[in-house]
A = this chain, B = another copy of it.
Amino acid sequence: MSEKVRIALDAMGGDNGAAVVIAGADLSLSRHPDTSFIVFGDEAVVRPLLESRPALAAASRLVHTEVTVKMDEKPSQALRHGRWRSSMWLAIDAVKKGEADVTVSAGNTGALMAMSKFHLRTMPGVSRPAIACLWPTLRGESIVLDVGASIGADVQHLVQLAVMGSAMASVVFDLERPTVGLLNVGVEEVKGLEEIREASQVLRTLACSHMDFRGFVEGDDIGRGTVDVVVTEGFTGNIALKTAEGTAKQLAAYLRSAMGRTWMAKIGYLFARQAFKTLKDKMDPRKVNGGVFLGLNGVVIKSHGGTDAEGFAAAVDLGYDMARYELMAKIRRTLGQAAPAPVAGEVAS
């Protein structure tokens, strides 16, 4: 990696487009001055935004393209129409060519994953990419993966998810040996969990110095922060993530309604305003914005499409950390340790 962290930005992605991307990048730059940007987008739109922010303009190179992947385009459509020339593709291409260390986009998730897979390809030893997210917990934060890159997972893929997730945890949380749990249900003797049980056995036998495997965890262990990394296949992970988001919104609505119902409650609210602000900050989804695409030959960060500058800045910060603390090298190192280990069947024979 060069001395500066080089970030490729898809300036045209997201519901709010270039204004949010440029403002967010500016905010992140103020926190990490050792960043440079390559900004891909429509010059007529992006140039004026950049020029109003001299520090960012000085740290950026703008590459013009008129082609934008739409938020509602299907991945296959986006590939047909946006390959080689869209801002999204070109941002990924910058990582592929080694001109950037990481790509950040708030664009269409399906299209971003399809293009990233197509162009960057999966890394040796990884069968399928995954999306990892940061999940706020009672202990701080955990990483949950996969939250929707692919559906279903065999033993090998679950083991790869554990390896990639623990490498990411070592980067984000600065841990030598992150704890890892496999998401499961508590009922014993239920059929159909063979791959999860077998993955657990494989992970137990891995004498891996970069990962501390703790066995099964259940749904309520995620918010409790029982482990640093929660491993599950993409369908369940996506449902869990959205269910938690839904529950958080629901409880916030209950709280607002309870605090507005009587004069006593309203007075109480005024006194406790600072406490409510603390709580709101704690629950702020913008602070943990950014899904990380893992398992490709390059790091791609997906920001929420509907976020604001603060949220996009968090995604850029995450990209900065991934590059600065060498996520790719750490995944390769842990994969290298994990790969030669015997699988469960061989141990038994």
Contact = CB atoms under 8 A, between A and B. Distances in A.
Interface stretch (A1-9, A24-32, A274-282, A311-319): A274-282
A44 interface: no
Nearest to A221: B246
B283 A254 contact: yes
A242 B271 CA distance: 34
A273 B259 CA distance: 10
Interface stretch (A14-22, A56-64, A90-98, A190-198): A190-198
A interface majority secondary structure: helix
A137 interface: yes
A250 B137 contact: yes
A269 B269 CA distance: 8
Contacts of A137: 250
Contacts of A192: 150-152, 235
A246 B269 CA distance: 26
A335 to B, nearest CB: 24
Contacts of A255: 255, 279
Given A218-B242, A246-B220, A249-B223, A185 B234 contact: yes
B273 A190 contact: no
A272 B268 contact: yes
A55 interface: no
Given A151-B191, A190-B150, A219-B240, A275 B250 contact: no
Contacts of A247: 223, 243-244, 247-248, 251
Nearest to A109: B187
Contacts of A190: 110, 148, 150-151, 234
B259 A265 contact: no
A95 to B, nearest CB: 22
A235 B194 CA distance: 13
Most B C-beta atoms less than 10 A away, residue of A151, A243, A246, A258: A243
Contact of A189 (B74, B272, B276): B74
Contacts of A329: none
A282 B255 CA distance: 10
A262 B249 contact: no
A262 B275 contact: yes
Given A150-B192, A187-B148, A219 B245 contact: yes
Interface of A: 74-76, 109-110, 136-138, 148, 150-152, 183, 185-193, 218-224, 232, 234-236, 238-251, 253-255, 258-259, 261-262, 264-265, 267-276, 278-279, 282-283
Q: Which 4 pairs, one residue from A and one from B, show the smallest C-beta to C-beta distance?
A: A268-B272, A219-B242, A151-B192, A268-B271
26 contacts: A76-B189, A110-B188, A110-B190, A138-B253, A185-B238, A187-B238, A218-B239, A219-B240, A219-B241, A220-B242, A220-B249, A223-B243, A232-B239, A239-B240, A243-B243, A247-B248, A255-B255, A258-B272, A258-B278, A259-B275, A261-B278, A268-B270, A268-B272, A269-B272, A271-B271, A272-B272
